[in-house]
Amino acid sequence: MTDPWWKSAVAYQIYPRSFCDTGVGAEGVGDLGGIRRHLEHLAWLGVDAVWISPFFPSPGFDYGYDVADYCDVDPMFGDLDTFDALVADAHALGIKVVIDWVPNHTSIDHPWFVASRSSPEDPHRDWYVWRDPAADGGPPNNWIESLTMGPAWTFDDASGQYYLHCFLPEQPDLNWANPAVVSAMCDTLRFWLDRGVDGFRMDVVHLIGKDPSLADDPAEVAGLPHVVLNDRSETHAHLRTIRALLDSYDGDRVSIGEVYLLDTELVAEHYGNDDELHMCFNFAPLHAPWDAAAWHEQIRVAASAFDPRGAWPTWVLSNHDNPRHRSRYGGSEARARAAAVLLLTLRGTPFLYMGEELGLLDAEVDPTQRRDPAGRDGCRGPIPWDGTPTHGWAGDSPWLPWPPDAARRNVANLRDDPTSILHLYRRLIAIRRRTAALVGGASELVDSPDGTVAFRRFDGDSSVTVLVNFLERNVDVSSVADVVDGTVLLSTIRPPGEPCGAVLEPDEAVIVATGQPGGR
Ligand code: GLC
């Protein structure tokens, strides 16, 4: 049996509002046509799959993660015909299309919630989580919502009850304990599977199973949002249902769970016995600092959590919820280049976030221009496609400010410069594709000097060693077996083809051919 496509894929996240506006729908907001326009660029870069953040009808309190209709396209982004054309274009270029599925909550504008709220007797009442006030009239429990860190409950004057929302009050939680909800949400998956999508990124999917008693979160963690604490057997049962549905389709349709638990072992449990999620995001590394000891530990923990259960890992450094990693790591492009080597050579499926291949920094958003209630605007700055004043976007100004240096740091300019970070990403993806050890090979950490991380990737007939210098000074790596004489396949600083030698330069990362695994 051949491996499913997603095990060898390089995935690329598109946040559609910020990708490219072709003039459809709202001015200054990206659209599906903008994605179609730039698919060729993604094929040139070498990505195998795109994950597109929500483009469904939504009032936009959480910029699309509050869905008012799971089975349509918001006119702001286009229409279903454009979506179908996008899928056809992507497939013609060999790019898979993964869309975002938001199962834990809907928008307050979703007809299900409108009905649910209309009366305690309405048949949809139990599709959401309604409870009477606590004895003191306050919320039914101590859960905290995750975007403004307020109570996870809102009181509905008309019916005298509270409804649960683990995110904004405009994002009421669905009640997955109700089989009608399970069935309706499975239908939304079928809708898109039938249209040919290759899978789903499943938003905070570990949250769908809840403690039926809605007990308080423990006092010692009571300040944390409930989303990072919810770890329930009920979720696992739902994931098995969802998996069986996906597996009933041809073509290895994939589920990628956003399991926002910061303990990698708990994340790994959501793969089940290969009968729950196909892959999960593991966010602990994203929150790790740019520090060799911290990364060594993250790599070790991921291997010990995922490998014994045959769970295929994922790696992600940036997304639409966190400051871009170049910004987080202090702003140096040299470091962003070294981080790219790490991301694209670790064992598992890497997820790039649009614009990291340009080395973008976060946009600087003046407090008066702030859009997101949770302050995540910086990483959502629009992608500059060229050096013109509108950077390849329709209209005069996008919904958020351009990232810094867009006149120089744009796609057209960096494509013209073979030494750019964009070309580094392209080379990395190409080397990955032609080096079996980097795709499906095993991985083992290798002892290396303080301030560096080294690991060997190997399969039957090839072995490469990856070395990353996290320090801003030269480091002698001659103690790392076979590296000195090995040929550099890629360096973030030097040309390839030479022996690696004993010294790594500041912030340098290298991939070195180190021969047969047994030949050390
Ligand atoms: C996920 C999304 C985030 C959103 C939240 C609620 O964490 O990535 O953007 O705000 O879920 O849907």
pLDDT digits (tens, 9 = 90+) for 2-19: 899 999 999 999 999 999
Q: String of b and e for 169-202 (b: at least 16 CB within 10 Å)?
A: bbbbbbbbebeebbeebbebbeebbeebbbbbbb
Ligand 1 site-directed mutation target among 170, 321, 351, 380, most atoms within 8 Å of CB: 321
Annotated catalytic, 40?
no
Res 520: pLDDT: 36
Sign of CA dihedral 32, 33, 34, 35: positive
Res 395: pLDDT: 84
Q: What residues are in contact with ligand 1 under a 6 Å CB criterion?
A: 62, 65, 102, 167, 203-204, 258, 320-321
List the catalytic residue out of 62, 203, 507, 508: 203
Tell me the CA–centroid distance for residue 100 and ligand 1, in Å.
Answer: 10
> Counting atoms of ligand 1 from 1, which one is nearest the CA of 374?
10
Sign of CA dihedral 288, 293, 295, 297: negative
Whose C-alpha lies nearest to ligand 1, atom 4?
65
DSSP letters spanning 13-69: EE-GGGT---SSSSTTS--HHHHHHTHHHHHHHT--EEEE---SS---TTTTSS-S-
Residues composing the chain:
520
Whose C-alpha lies nearest to ligand 1, atom 3?
321
Tell me the CA–centroid distance for residue 66 and ligand 1, in Å.
Answer: 9
Q: Distance from CA of residue 31 to its chain's centroid?
A: 20
> Counting atoms of ligand 1 from 1, which one is nearest the CA of 320?
9
Place of tokens 């870069």: 45
Model's pTM, two decimal places?
0.98
List the catalytic residue out of 62, 258, 482, 507: 258
Whose C-alpha lies nearest to ligand 1, atom 12?
65
Environment class of 250 (CB within 10 Å of its CB; exposed 0-12, middle 13-18, buried 19+): exposed
Half-sphere exposure of 356 (CA within 13 A, CB side): 34
Please tell me the distance from the alpha carbon of residue 46 to that of residue 352, in angstroms, as a whole number.
12
Amino acid making up residue 250: D
3-state DSSP assignment of residue 155 = strand
Averaged pLDDT in 10-residue chunks for the chain of 520 residues:
94 98 95 98 98 98 98 98 98 98 99 98 98 98 97 98 98 98 98 98 98 97 95 98 98 98 96 98 98 98 97 98 98 98 98 98 95 97 98 94 98 98 98 96 97 96 94 97 95 96 98 68
Contact 420, 414 (CB under 8 A): yes
Whose C-alpha lies nearest to ligand 1, atom 2?
203
Tell me the CA–centroid distance for residue 218 and ligand 1, in Å.
Answer: 24
How big is the chain by its Cα radius of gyration, in Å? 23
Range list of β-strands (E), 134-187: 153-156, 161-164
Cα separations (Å) of 321 from 56, 232, 286, 310, 372? Answer: 19, 24, 11, 29, 10
Res 516: pLDDT: 60
Annotated catalytic, 269?
no
Please tell me the distance from the alpha carbon of residue 343 to that of residue 351, in angstroms, as a whole number.
8
Q: Distance from CA of residue 430 to its chain's centroid?
A: 21
Q: Largest Cα–Cα distance in the chain?
A: 76
Tell me the CA–centroid distance for residue 248 and ligand 1, in Å.
Answer: 28
Contact 353, 336 (CB under 8 A): no
Question: What domains can you pick out in the chain, each with its CATH number?
Answer: 5-104+179-430 (3.20.20.80), 111-164 (3.90.400.10), 441-513 (2.60.40.1180)
Tell me the CA–centroid distance for residue 420 and ligand 1, in Å.
Answer: 32
Res 501: pLDDT: 97
